[in-house]
Amino acid sequence: MTEARLREDIALLSRSLFERGFSVGSAGNISAALEDGLLITPTNSCLGFLDPGRISKIDHRGRHLSGDPPSKEIFLHRAFYESRSGTGAVVHLHSTFATALSCLADIDPGDCIPPITPYVVMRVGQVPLVAYVRPGDAKAGAFIRALEGRHAAVLLANHGPVVAGKDLRSAVYAAEELEETAKLTVLLRDAPVRRLDQVQIDDLKRVFGN
Ligand SMILES: O=C(CO)COP(=O)(O)O
Ligand SMILES: [Zn+2]
């Protein structure tokens, strides 16, 4: 895909997420890999109104090459590209239900999003919690690197999800799936829930990968 087409796609998918309430105000950021670096949404930009030509371009060493100043969460994105092979795009949102779970005092830090439907297993997998740091603090990147690429998604404590995918659409779809499962989890919080068991999870992984 050409850089121009990728810029258009980032703006298109960002707007779609914004219009469906997956992000509000200037929350969230999205990046996609290029051969010579990556594109990332500018800091303080609204995902609903991106100008494709002003999306920031960063080289492999993290230097700002062109466009508006990059998201302050560039650390989160680079941590995924550099620790999880096959990452072609990263989506960070403050989507409501995933963020609600990230604020729960009793969340299981090793497994924030329960495997209750096949699609969350197929698209997202097991999601660990990353300890709270201030937005834009590079320490969150170090926490993600420490996971050594084992997870496609993490939940930042009291903040929101970060999701990696092999390309932009995959990462966006996985972020949507994570949010929907978070919503189900909140809806079902007081009900006895039947999780998929390990045999069912392994079967999905074998057939659909992840
Ligand atoms: O989600 C955000 C901070 O965590 C938004 O930050 P940016 O506007 O710098 O991308
Ligand atoms: Zn954020």
pLDDT tens digits for range 127-167: 999 999 999 999 999 999 999 999 999 999 999 999 999 99
Active site residues: 73, 119
What is residue 135's predicted lDDT score, i.e. its pLDDT?
98
pLDDT band for position 184 (50/70/90)? very high
Residues 6 or more apart whose Cβ sits within 8 Å of residue 78: 38, 62, 141
Question: What is the b/e burial string over 23-62, where b = at least 16 CB atoms within 10 angstroms of the residue's CB?
Answer: beeebbbbbbbbeebbbbbbbebbbbebebeebbbbeeee
Mean pLDDT computed over 61-75: 97
Mutate to test the pocket of ligand 1, among 22, 23, 90, 92 (most ligand atoms within 8 A of CB): 92
Amino acid symbol at 114: P
- How far apart CA 175 and CA 163 sit, in angstroms, is 6
Would you say residue 210 has pLDDT above 90? no
- Geometric angle at alpha carbon 194, from 193 and 198, rounded to 5°: 135
What is residue 1's predicted lDDT score, i.e. its pLDDT?
85
Using the mean position of ligand 2's atoms as its centre, give its distance from the Cα of residue 194 in Å: 31
Task: Detail the DSSP E strand segments found in 55-200.
Answer: 56-58, 64-66, 89-92, 129-130, 153-156, 160-165
* Per-residue pLDDT reduced to its tens digit, 161-183: 999 999 999 999 999 999 999 99
ipTM field: 0.99
Contact criterion met (CB below 8 Å) for 81 and 90: yes
Mutate to test the pocket of ligand 1, among 18, 40, 73, 163 (most ligand atoms within 8 A of CB): 73
Using the mean position of ligand 1's atoms as its centre, give its distance from the Cα of residue 20 in Å: 19
Ligand 1 site residues (CB inside 6 A) read 26-29, 43-44, 71-73, 92, 135
Which ligand lies nearest the alpha carbon of 134?
A: 1
Backbone angles phi, psi at 140, to 5 degrees: -60, -35
Using the mean position of ligand 1's atoms as its centre, give its distance from the Cα of residue 14 in Å: 14
Hey, what CATH topology would domain 3-208 get?
A: L-fuculose-1-phosphate Aldolase (3.40.225)
Structure tokens at 144: 């993600």
DSSP 76: H
Backbone angles phi, psi at 42, to 5 degrees: -70, 150
pLDDT band for position 209 (50/70/90)? confident
Domain residue limits, the chain:
3-208
